[in-house]
Amino acid sequence: MNQTERIESDVLVIGGSGAGVMSAVAAAREGARVVLVSKGKVGKNGNAIMLGGSFGVDGQGARDVCGEAEANQEYTAESLFHKMVACGFGLGDQELQKQFVEEGPPAVKELLDWVKECGSTFVFAPKACRWRAGGVAFGSALRHGLTSHQEIEAYEDTIIADLLTSDGQVCGAIGFEVFTGRLLEFRAKSVILATGGWQPYELKNTNSDMTGDGIAMALRAGAKVKDMEFLLAIPTIQEPLYAKGSILPFQMTMPNIFPLRHKATDLDGEELVYSSDPRYKTNASNSKVKKLLYCAFYAPGMYAKWDRYGNRFYMDYSAYTDQEIRDGFKTFYQNQHWWHGKDRYHHIDLPKLAEEIIQNKKRLMCGFGNEYSMGGVVIDKDFGAGLPGLYAAGEVTAGVFGAFRSGDGLTEMLAHGRAAGKNAALYARQVRQLEPENTAQALDRLLAPTQRGQGVSPIEAWKKLESICEEGFGFIRDGQRLQKAYEQICELRASLEEMAAPGSRQYNLEWINSVLVRNLALCAEIGIRSALDRKESRGCHLRADEPQVDNQRYLFSWQAYLEEGQPVYEKAAPRAPYLPLDTKNYPSVLDCIADTILGG
């Protein structure tokens, strides 16, 4: 009944989005036998399918490698590197940041080749050296890239529950098919984690399956993680409910896409002021810092009424006529029409939304939704994850962005994937297949909920986890709320030992969620504890009670590993071989941004 089916390969890639596909292709190119496992359909799961913006490289790379003759040559590789170092608030790994800059162009070029071959559309913006695309177009290109390498064996709709190890070396993974419940044992000489990040909130603008699976599996295998307190949030729709989670509000802050400028207010109508100080003026090359600026400017006013309204504010367009609002959405659609149905943005009917905004006193209710997680598995410059045979690529890792992601997640996953795939394949050439020592233990942990007739509901536990994180670990924090959230998440994680998912294993949602919530709760506990112990503000970690950026005391990453299933914390100094670290203190994140990112 509990017998597993064994699948063998040289390299096992876990993840079916950009980092996973690029890793698999790069490993196959080195002659490795590659198996790729995806939680959903390749190219249609993970964050990439939600893509609504753009990604890019430096000007010379865009012109000389990617073939864009009009690319802005003033946007140099050196300026991109300096921007990434500054935007990481000192915590970025400069070796990884340099790799991002140097390997981004050839990785993007390979994707662009797939785009042309499958007939997708990407639109290049020369001044910013960026390609705009939609999630469907990106996913189609990834799927084409994978299927063009028929030697890669893909397992879709398959959840990996744990890594398999032998004497400290990673040699495979255990998992199951979502729809059939069939147990699968993957044996490999090396494993690449390309599982994406983690989002613990009720309001997110990514797929709900971003549950930190690779991060948690790596921890249980013996790896380390860091920077788990840093979670990027951007303006996101709260209401109407059919549009909840859309990044449309952030898109609407871009003048070249949506011509109307909003006024932000709390739910009582009091304005949340975004400063007109020229110190905070952005340009094409540093426009992504506006994600953090919106959080930092709106946070104080929202925090003052948090107990009443929580994570909600209005984007107010009352300065415009009804027709101007309608025309604004027409302009938005014209800027996005390559990737969406008539008058739509993803699934949202834009004319309908315009009318609803008009009827709601010309206001759109928003909050700050989770977009990206900076923290993850600690990797070296070769994308090794600290254990022989284990590699990681993309958002599952930590280090390239530090405390704030200024670079592009798509460029990251492509550049990481190429390097990780090649290095994992080279490692696999040199070793023999090992016999796992922990298969029985991993199976017992996986199947335990199915053998309980009653106990904790994994689905209800997930709802509780999101509530804890929304209330105490959101985009604005304080010590008192963090302490309460930490106590609650520890209690919740302990209760997961009694999860129950009785019944057949065939598409058993409680069983599926028992795997995912276990991973998400571990990530959340480490993130909350790291935030509690970081008694300052830095990047995406905004504390109302500790607004200062304290480089004298906190210019380090909180790093964690497990001992007997419990997190142990340590300080890790950032790796900075190229540029000196900024040791100056700043009164606030806003002051730090003005001086080091926009003023530097």
Query: Please, which residues bridge with residue 176 across strands?
Result: 159, 183
Within 10 Å of residue 402's Cβ, how many Cβ atoms? Answer: 30
What are the pLDDT digits (tens) for 245-267?
A: 999 999 999 998 999 999 999 99
Q: Lowest-pLDDT range, 196-200, 344-348, 495-499, 591-595?
A: 344-348
Check whether domain 5-231+373-438 has CATH 3.50.50.60, yes or no: yes
Give yes or no for a contact between 446 and 515, defined as CB atoms under 8 angstroms apart.
Answer: yes
Give yes or no for a contact between 210 and 204, defined as CB atoms under 8 angstroms apart.
Answer: yes
Prediction pTM value: 0.97
Average pLDDT over residues 157-169: 98
Pairing outcome for strands 123-125 and 130-132: antiparallel
Q: What is the C-alpha separation between 517 and 498, in angstroms, rounded? A: 13
- Show Cβ contacts of residue 250 under 8 Å, excluding neighbours closer than 6 positions: 234, 235, 236, 291, 294
**What is the structure's pLDDT at 53?**
74
Q: What is the C-alpha separation between 408 and 491, in angstroms, rounded? A: 36
Helical (H) or strand (E) element with 369: strand 363-373
Q: Tokens representing 199?
A: 């989002």
**What is the structure's pLDDT at 230?**
98
CA dihedral 257, 48, 347, 361 (to 10 degrees): -50
How confident is the prediction for the chain on average, in pLDDT?
95
Q: How does residue 600 score in pLDDT terms, banded at 50, 70 and 90?
A: low
Q: What is the C-alpha separation between 173 and 164, in angstroms, rounded? A: 5
DSSP 448: G
Give yes or no for a contact between 540 and 403, defined as CB atoms under 8 angstroms apart.
Answer: yes
pLDDT at residue 1 is higher than 70: no
pLDDT at residue 287 is higher than 90: no
Where in the chain are the domains?
5-231+373-438, 232-370
Q: What is the C-alpha separation between 308 and 53, in angstroms, rounded? A: 33
223-239 burial code (b ≥16 CB/10 A, e <16) = bbbbbbbbbbbbbbbbe
Give yes or no for a contact between 422 and 402, defined as CB atoms under 8 angstroms apart.
Answer: no
Q: What is the C-alpha separation between 215 and 223, in angstroms, rounded? A: 9
**What is the structure's pLDDT at 369?**
95
What stretches of 462-587 adopt beta strand conformation (E)? 557-563, 566-572
What are the pLDDT digits (tens) for 424-479?
A: 999 999 999 999 999 999 999 999 999 999 999 999 999 999 999 999 999 999 99
Query: Please, which residues bridge with residue 257 across strands?
Result: none
DSSP states of 296-364 as a string?
HHHHHHHHHTHHHH-S-EEEE-TTS-HHHHHHHHHHHHHHHTTSSSTTEETTEEHHHHHHHHHHTTTEE
Query: Please, which residues bridge with residue 36 across strands?
Result: 13, 154
**What is the structure's pLDDT at 182?**
97
Q: What is the C-alpha separation between 398 and 212, in angstroms, rounded? A: 12
Please report which residue ranges of 372-448 form alpha helices under DSSP H.
409-430, 439-447
Helix, strand and coil content of the chain, in percent to the nearest 5, comes to 40, 20, 40
**What is the structure's pLDDT at 54?**
83
Average pLDDT over residues 27-46: 93
Q: What is the C-alpha separation between 227 and 527, in angstroms, rounded? A: 8
DSSP states of 558-570 as a string?
EEEEEETTEEEEE
Helical (H) or strand (E) element with 466: helix 458-472
- Please give the single-letter amino acid code of residue 456: V
Q: How does residue 43 score in pLDDT terms, banded at 50, 70 and 90?
A: confident
Q: What percent of the chain has pLDDT over 70?
A: 100
What are the pLDDT digits (tens) for 305-360?
A: 999 999 999 999 999 999 999 999 999 999 988 888 899 998 899 999 999 999 99
What are the pLDDT digits (tens) for 60-78?
A: 999 999 999 999 999 999 9
Q: What is the C-alpha separation between 16 and 13, in angstroms, rounded? A: 8
Q: What angle do CA 116, 120, 122 make, to 5 degrees?
A: 85
**What is the structure's pLDDT at 347?**
87
Q: Say if residue 587 is exposed, middle or buried (CB neighbours under 10 Å; 0-12, 13-18, 19+).
A: exposed
Q: What is the C-alpha separation between 577 and 92, in angstroms, rounded? A: 11
Average pLDDT over residues 142-153: 96
What are the pLDDT digits (tens) for 365-387?
A: 999 999 999 999 999 999 999 99
**What is the structure's pLDDT at 509?**
96
What are the pLDDT digits (tens) for 204-243?
A: 887 778 999 999 999 999 999 999 999 999 999 999 999 9
Q: What is the C-alpha separation between 404 and 92, in angstroms, rounded? A: 9
Q: What is the C-alpha separation between 328 and 383, in angstroms, rounded? A: 44
Q: What does residue 407 show for φ and ψ, rounded to 5 degrees?
A: -80, -175
Give yes or no for a contact between 20 and 36, defined as CB atoms under 8 angstroms apart.
Answer: yes
Give yes or no for a contact between 375 and 227, defined as CB atoms under 8 angstroms apart.
Answer: yes
Looking at per-residue confidence, does 517 or 3 come out higher?
A: 517
